[in-house]
A and B are shown apart, each in its own frame.
Chain A
Amino acid sequence: MRHIISVLIENEAGALARVSGLFAARGYNIESLTVAPTQDETLSRMTLVTYGDEMIIEQIIKQLNKLVDVVKLLDLSDGPHIERELMMVKVKAEKGAREEMKRMADIFRANIIDVTDSSYTIELTGAGEKLDAFLTAVNDDLIMEVVRSGPLGISRGAKGLGL
């Protein structure tokens, strides 16, 4: 099963390496991992997407909690939550194809954020499936570069993950 886990971790040198090292050393799957400081600059927030059976996910959560730098974590998959991922795609947009590409961006509510006479750079935010759908919709030959942030997650409702 796929799980999306949010981790509040001390913003210390090596903290990220402890998490990625843990996944490598114990052979856990890791699909994506994003990390950035929070409003409290002593804390970073990590969102990681992993998969495994129930026993493995339980171990992943326990092992993460065991890291001395980890302050708090939440398995977002346990409850209602929102996921968003950012993608930027550089596509070929030449002559007659430009209009079609613009229309495609509009359909997906994407923004064109950079333009040359032969290319567009398109920005798209949404759940992972929406981003996948966009890539499927665009002809493979037209895609020059794709960069994705990996999902970010937050729980629904008034309660937040904080100290």
Chain B
Amino acid sequence: MELTGAEIVVQALKEEGVEYVWGYPGGAVLHIYDALFQEKAVQHILVRHEQAATHAADGYARATGNVGVALVTSGPGATNAVTGIATAYMDSIPMVVLTGQVPTPFIGSDAFQEVDITGITRPCVKHNFLIKRVEDIAETMAKAFYIARTGRPGPVLVDIPKDVTDPNIRIPFEYPKKVSMRSYKPVEKGNARQVRKAVELMVKARRPVIYTGGGVVLGEASDELRKLVAHTDFPVTNTLMGLGSVAASDSHFLGMLGMHGTYEANMAMHEADLIIAIGARFDDRVTGKLAQFCPNARIIHVDVDPASISKNVRVDVPIVGQVKPVLRDMLKFLKERKSGPDKAALKEWWARIETWRDVNCLKYVNSDKVIKPQFAIETLHKVTKRRNFYLTSDVGQHQMFAAQFYPFEKPRRWINSGGLGTMGFGLPAAMGVQQAFPKATVACVTGEASIQMCIQELATCSQYDLPLKIILLNNGYMGMVRQWQEFFYDKRYSHSYVDALPDFAKLAETYGHVGMTIENPGDLEAAYKEAFGMKNRLVFMNVIIDPEENVYPMIEAGKGHHEMHMSPHLSAERELA
């Protein structure tokens, strides 16, 4: 079979089982677009901004575990995609981004729409390629997908100069059946001796905590983690990226840890004598002040990426390997031992944890006059809990409220930009999820500032009939910024008021969707029910909330886990008691 370079690109996508490509055309990718036009197996979704193409591909990847694919043109198309690439990189999301490039003879001449995109993205991709010859396309595409999905996943960019896809040049096409690279060998199983060492620490521990991150979700190890938790009776906490890997309803679950984590999760970390970190990377939003992080604990760390281990925190038992097989071994070795974890010590430990739980750190004072964001999320859970439900989020207070108040029972259901914290992520990511699961209910919780960063995608949703449910928690402020300004800048709200807001309900309507404005706490549940009842329509719910609610508990950047700010009314209650 003789194919052109452009046809080879598209055939490669087919070979990799790609169903969807999110993209935006332009001069340098016109040959590829022409080949796509003639191909039915790969569906192209036309976004309205290249940032959204990468976020949609990313959302698709997070929900399915497959590699997400985006296609953009050279120059501005490629630079627009960078934010989405960096977002995926920080959260280790498998993605392949194809960028057009000026023809090879023009590279380096400041040609029209030329940027050195492999240079620009080098620090925020797992790897990237510049293809120089049509003969190299098939192999490079196979490598790109292989690198993106194996080991610690991540985005791979493939830059394709226009002349390489020339429709007049045909070459024989054969797709590599297997990729093997001498310079890239992702690890598989963990070292059994290390796992046994970990097990010895686990049975001796008196105050253990399992702390897990996005790696458990990415590594499809949720079942193994749940079994480990059930078998050991150890408490478990998740990072923002790990929510759903244990069921929120499991009594072993302490909630999220870190800056806006629960009192019980953070106190347990602080007082623990053993931390079992699994697929987590000791991010500063999780650890707080490193010098005070888990001061009394030995640390076991399971991660597929050796560079993650002992990067920020020195660990005692490193285990490099895929999380899933490591957890299997861990459970197996635990079961083989005659005696298991120390039951009496655990009982004491749980009793202490219960006293922290009794603080009820997420408690808030509801109102019948104004909608509280916490109430908005709780009600969302009430209305959607029986559905096949996915929730994406933007970045800010609404994201933290969703993480705290929506109890996720399964992995891959909570989709947000944790590492980069990219405003504008929520809506396009939800498009990717909905595309993957047309029958599922996909909602996006957002803020009035965040949603305006990719609001043009409402058009894409019309074109492709994506019945998303958008819940805008509208506080009129960049709430998270305002909160920091309230706490640390004496309420000088410098440029955090979001003025000149559009009427979001009407705006949604002009795009052909249903718009709602909800202001009364008493109307909220019925409004949600009505919105979620509209199966085939995108409904944009502009939920007007308390403008100055804050997210609690909060650990200031650079403070220790035991130095949480609690909500003022909780502190007041405690003083009374």
Residues of A within 8 A of B (CB): 9-10, 13-14, 17-18, 21, 25, 55, 58-59, 62-63, 65-66, 68-71, 163
Taking CB atoms, residues of chain A closer than 8 Å to B181 are 68
16 contacts between A and B (CB under 8 A): A14-B122, A18-B122, A21-B122, A21-B123, A55-B310, A58-B310, A59-B307, A59-B311, A62-B306, A62-B307, A63-B307, A66-B305, A68-B126, A69-B127, A71-B183, A163-B182
Whether the Cβ atoms of A17 and B182 lie closer than 8 Å is no
Taking CB atoms, residues of chain B closer than 8 Å to A68 are 126-127, 147, 181, 183-184
A24 to B: closest C-beta gap in Å: 9
Whether the Cβ atoms of A10 and B183 lie closer than 8 Å is yes
Whether the Cβ atoms of A55 and B314 lie closer than 8 Å is yes
Residues of B within 8 A of A (CB): 118-119, 122-123, 126-128, 130, 147, 181-184, 305-307, 309-311, 314
Distance of A68 Cα from B155 Cα, bound (Å): 13
Task: Tell me the interface secondary structure of chain B in the complex.
Answer: mixed
Whether the Cβ atoms of B122 and A66 lie closer than 8 Å is no
Taking CB atoms, residues of chain B closer than 8 Å to A66 are 305-307
Taking CB atoms, residues of chain A closer than 8 Å to B182 are 71, 163
B32 to A: closest C-beta gap in Å: 22
Chain B residue at minimum C-beta to C-beta distance from A64: B307
Taking CB atoms, residues of chain A closer than 8 Å to B147 are 68
Chain A residue at minimum C-beta to C-beta distance from B122: A21
Distance of A66 Cα from B309 Cα, bound (Å): 13
Chain B residue at minimum C-beta to C-beta distance from A8: B183
Taking CB atoms, residues of chain A closer than 8 Å to B309 are 62
Chain A residue at minimum C-beta to C-beta distance from B125: A68
The 8 closest A-B pairs by CB, nearest first: A62-B307, A68-B127, A71-B183, A25-B123, A68-B184, A66-B307, A62-B306, A63-B307
Chain B residue at minimum C-beta to C-beta distance from A10: B183
Distance of A146 Cα from B314 Cα, bound (Å): 42
Distance of A163 Cα from B128 Cα, bound (Å): 23
Taking CB atoms, residues of chain A closer than 8 Å to B123 are 21, 25
Whether the Cβ atoms of A65 and B306 lie closer than 8 Å is yes
Chain B residue at minimum C-beta to C-beta distance from A18: B122
Taking CB atoms, residues of chain B closer than 8 Å to A63 are 307
Chain A residue at minimum C-beta to C-beta distance from B320: A62
Taking CB atoms, residues of chain B closer than 8 Å to A70 are 183
Chain A residue at minimum C-beta to C-beta distance from B184: A68
Taking CB atoms, residues of chain B closer than 8 Å to A18 are 122
Contacts A68-B147, A68-B181 known; 20 new A-B pairs at CB < 8 A: A10-B183, A14-B118, A14-B128, A17-B119, A17-B122, A21-B122, A55-B310, A55-B314, A59-B307, A59-B310, A59-B311, A62-B306, A63-B307, A66-B305, A66-B306, A66-B307, A68-B126, A68-B127, A70-B183, A71-B183
Name the residue among A59, A62, A70, A163 with the largest chain B CB count within 10 angstroms.
A62
Chain A residue at minimum C-beta to C-beta distance from B130: A13
- Number of inter-chain CB pairs below 8 Å: 41
Chain A residue at minimum C-beta to C-beta distance from B183: A71
Taking CB atoms, residues of chain A closer than 8 Å to B126 are 68
Distance of A69 Cα from B122 Cα, bound (Å): 12
Distance of A62 Cα from B152 Cα, bound (Å): 14
Chain B residue at minimum C-beta to C-beta distance from A69: B183
A46 to B: closest C-beta gap in Å: 13
Taking CB atoms, residues of chain B closer than 8 Å to A62 are 306-307, 309
Chain A residue at minimum C-beta to C-beta distance from B182: A71
Distance of A10 Cα from B147 Cα, bound (Å): 16
Taking CB atoms, residues of chain B closer than 8 Å to A13 are 130
A34 to B: closest C-beta gap in Å: 20
Chain A residue at minimum C-beta to C-beta distance from B156: A68
Distance of A152 Cα from B458 Cα, bound (Å): 58
Whether the Cβ atoms of B130 and A14 lie closer than 8 Å is yes
A7 to B: closest C-beta gap in Å: 11
Name the residue among A25, A58, A65 with the largest chain B CB count within 10 angstroms.
A58
Distance of A140 Cα from B123 Cα, bound (Å): 42
A6 to B: closest C-beta gap in Å: 15
Taking CB atoms, residues of chain B closer than 8 Å to A9 are 183
B90 to A: closest C-beta gap in Å: 13
Distance of A68 Cα from B184 Cα, bound (Å): 6
Taking CB atoms, residues of chain B closer than 8 Å to A58 are 310
Taking CB atoms, residues of chain A closer than 8 Å to B130 are 13-14
Taking CB atoms, residues of chain B closer than 8 Å to A25 are 123
Taking CB atoms, residues of chain A closer than 8 Å to B311 are 59
A102 to B: closest C-beta gap in Å: 47
Distance of A69 Cα from B129 Cα, bound (Å): 11
A98 to B: closest C-beta gap in Å: 47
Distance of A138 Cα from B266 Cα, bound (Å): 63
Taking CB atoms, residues of chain A closer than 8 Å to B127 are 68-69
Distance of A25 Cα from B147 Cα, bound (Å): 22
Chain B residue at minimum C-beta to C-beta distance from A26: B123
B60 to A: closest C-beta gap in Å: 24
A30 to B: closest C-beta gap in Å: 16
Distance of A71 Cα from B184 Cα, bound (Å): 7
Chain B residue at minimum C-beta to C-beta distance from A163: B182
Chain A residue at minimum C-beta to C-beta distance from B119: A17
Distance of A10 Cα from B181 Cα, bound (Å): 11
Taking CB atoms, residues of chain A closer than 8 Å to B310 are 55, 58-59
Distance of A14 Cα from B183 Cα, bound (Å): 15
Distance of A16 Cα from B150 Cα, bound (Å): 24
B450 to A: closest C-beta gap in Å: 27
Name the residue among B181, B305, B307, B314 with the largest chain A CB count within 10 angstroms.
B307
Taking CB atoms, residues of chain B closer than 8 Å to A59 are 307, 310-311
A121 to B: closest C-beta gap in Å: 34
Chain A residue at minimum C-beta to C-beta distance from B152: A66
Taking CB atoms, residues of chain B closer than 8 Å to A21 are 122-123
Distance of A71 Cα from B123 Cα, bound (Å): 19
Chain B residue at minimum C-beta to C-beta distance from A9: B183
Taking CB atoms, residues of chain A closer than 8 Å to B184 are 68
B507 to A: closest C-beta gap in Å: 40
Distance of A14 Cα from B131 Cα, bound (Å): 12
Taking CB atoms, residues of chain A closer than 8 Å to B122 are 14, 17-18, 21
Taking CB atoms, residues of chain A closer than 8 Å to B183 are 9-10, 68-71
A40 to B: closest C-beta gap in Å: 11
Taking CB atoms, residues of chain B closer than 8 Å to A10 are 183
Distance of A14 Cα from B184 Cα, bound (Å): 16
Taking CB atoms, residues of chain A closer than 8 Å to B128 are 14
B329 to A: closest C-beta gap in Å: 23
Chain A residue at minimum C-beta to C-beta distance from B132: A13
A25 to B: closest C-beta gap in Å: 5
B115 to A: closest C-beta gap in Å: 15
B131 to A: closest C-beta gap in Å: 11
Distance of A68 Cα from B307 Cα, bound (Å): 13
